[in-house]
Structure formats: structure tokens, C-alpha cells
């Protein structure tokens, strides 16, 4: 007998909304890292590879260590997510998402606290904690296999928008989600930038961690989410 799919063919609306809101927090994290840290991405690892290349040839304003730390921490966070997924294995998707959000938000809140204590000096621990949180999240979301809603990567999403625009009226099946994902990361980056400018790096990371946990707790309570088996 074949095993029933863990997710329905149509992704539940509450899960789509949660992933879109998490996409906004990605924008907040990268705004915090670019404006408040040492010119490094802690969510968008493609940008870090480019920045690392700049630093390797001595381009002013770019440094090797922050980019390397972010890349290594992101990888470590993804590895931890895989290990955690194999250990407890909550039967329901809603339970797994709460566990994942609790771990991610803990790292972000800890990063915010460290940033407040360091007050702009020696931000390598903040970079490591933030990138680790985003690597953890990226691995968790990849397990869900929801098309065009990775929450952290837009390259394929934008490519999908362009490809579907060539179809009948641009009405591809996931076009709405793709456009929404781009808009949410833009909005999150704008909000994060405004928060960093007004309140500083630490407060921005604290707020982002709180949003991740609060949004997850809100959306997993929806009846459509409570009975779905966890993927994997």
C-alpha cells in the first residue's frame, strides 16, 4: 500500500500566509545585517558569495571574515535542522513548525540581546547566530516543498514570474504566490531598514524573532493545519 501524501495537493491557505510572513522577516534580517553589521548578508547566501569575492580582491568596505562566518553558520543551522527533524519527529506539521519557530526565534532573540550588549563592537557572534537561525529556517521550509515559497531565495521565484508572464495572460498556477513573496521580502526589508535606523540592530533582531514565533503560533492553530502530517 502506498503512503498517503503528507501535504494535500493544494497547499493550505494558512501555511501559504505563514510562509509569506516569514518571507517578510527574511527582508528584515537582511536589512539588519547589511545596515547594522559588517556589510554581510545573513539570510541571502548568494550575496555573501559575491561579497566574499569582492573582499578576496581587496575591494574597500568588504571583509572576508564576516562573510565566511555567515556562510559557515548558515550551513551549520541547516545541518542542525536536519538532525532535529530526525530526532523528535513530531507527527503533525503544526507541532513541527512550532518547534522549528521556537528554535529559530531563540537564535534571533539571542542575537538581538548580544547586539544590544556589544553596542556595535565585535559583531561576529551576532552574524553567526543570525545566519544560523536563517540556515535552520531554510532547511525546515525546504522540507515542506511548497512551490515558490522558500522564504529566503527569490532568484527562482522571479524567474518563474517572468516565465509565467509568457503564458496565457501571465496566469501561471503559482503566479500570485510568487508576486506576493517578492512583495513581502521588499516590505520586510523596508520595515527592517526603518527599524534599524530608528531603534538599532538589537531591537530589529528582537522584533524579528518575536514575529517569527508569534506568526507561527497564530497560523498553526487554524483547523486546516492541525491534522496535516509532517513531511519527511
pLDDT tens, position by position, 13-60: 888 899 999 999 999 999 999 999 878 999 888 888 999 999 999 999
Which residues does 34 contact at the CB level (< 8 Å), separation at least 6? 40, 41
Beta bridge partners of 92: 229
- Please report which confidence band the pLDDT of residue 161 belongs to, taking 50, 70 and 90 as the band edges: very low
Q: C-alpha dihedral over 33, 35, 39, 43, to 10 degrees?
A: 30
Q: To which residue does cell 527582508 refer?
A: 27
Encode 143-180: b = buried (16+ Cβ within 10 Å), e = exposed.
Answer: bbebebbbbbbbeebeebbeebeeeeeeebebbebbbb
> What pTM value is reported for the model?
0.84
Q: How confident is the model at residue 4 (pLDDT cuts 50, 70, 90)?
A: very low
User: How long a stretch of residues is the chain?
Assistant: 232
Q: Which domains does the chain have, with CATH numbers?
A: 13-226 (1.20.1250)
Q: Which value, to the nearest 10 degrees, does the dihedral of the CA atoms of residues 180, 30, 72, 17 take?
A: -30
pLDDT of residue 227: 66
Query: What are the distances in angstroms from CA 180 to CA 126, 166, 173?
Result: 29, 19, 13
47 CB neighbour count, 10 Å cutoff: 17
- Going by the DSSP 8-state scheme, the letter that residue 153 receives in this structure is -
Burial class for 37, CB neighbours closer than 10 Å (0-12, 13-18, 19+): buried
Amino acid at each position: 500500500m502506498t503512503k498517503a501524501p503528507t501535504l494535500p495537493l493544494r497547499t493550505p491557505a494558512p501555511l501559504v500566509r505563514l510562509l509569506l510572513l516569514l518571507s517578510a522577516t527574511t527582508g528584515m534580517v537582511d536589512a539588519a545585517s547589511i545596515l547594522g553589521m559588517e556589510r554581510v548578508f545573513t539570510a541571502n547566501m548568494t550575496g555573501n558569495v559575491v561579497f566574499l569575492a569582492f573582499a578576496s580582491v581587496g575591494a574597500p568596505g568588504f571583509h572576508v571574515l564576516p562573510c565566511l562566518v555567515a556562510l559557515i553558520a548558515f550551513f551549520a543551522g541547516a545541518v542542525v535542522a536536519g538532525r532535529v527533524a530526525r530526532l523528535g519527529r513530531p507527527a503533525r506539521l503544526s507541532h513541527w513548525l512550532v518547534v522549528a519557530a521556537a528554535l529559530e526565534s531563540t537564535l534571533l532573540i539571542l542575537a538581538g540581546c548580544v547586539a544590544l550588549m556589544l553596542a556595535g563592537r565585535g559583531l561576529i557572534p551576532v552574524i553567526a547566530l543570525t545566519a544560523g537561525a536563517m540556515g535552520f529556517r531554510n532547511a525546515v521550509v525546504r522540507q515542506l516543498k511548497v512551490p515558490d515559497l522558500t522564504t529566503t531565495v527569490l532568484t527562482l521565484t522571479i524567474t518563474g514570474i517572468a516565465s509565467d508572464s509568457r503564458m496565457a495572460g501571465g496566469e501561471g498556477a503559482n503566479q500570485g504566490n510568487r508576486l506576493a513573496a517578492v512583495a513581502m521580502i521588499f516590505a520586510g526589508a523596508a520595515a527592517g531598514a526603518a527599524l534599524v535606523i530608528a531603534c538599532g540592530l538589537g531591537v530589529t533582531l528582537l522584533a524579528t524573532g518575536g514575529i517569527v514565533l508569534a506568526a507561527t503560533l497564530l497560523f498553526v492553530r487554524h483547523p486546516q493545519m492541525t491534522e496535516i502530517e509532517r513531511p519527511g
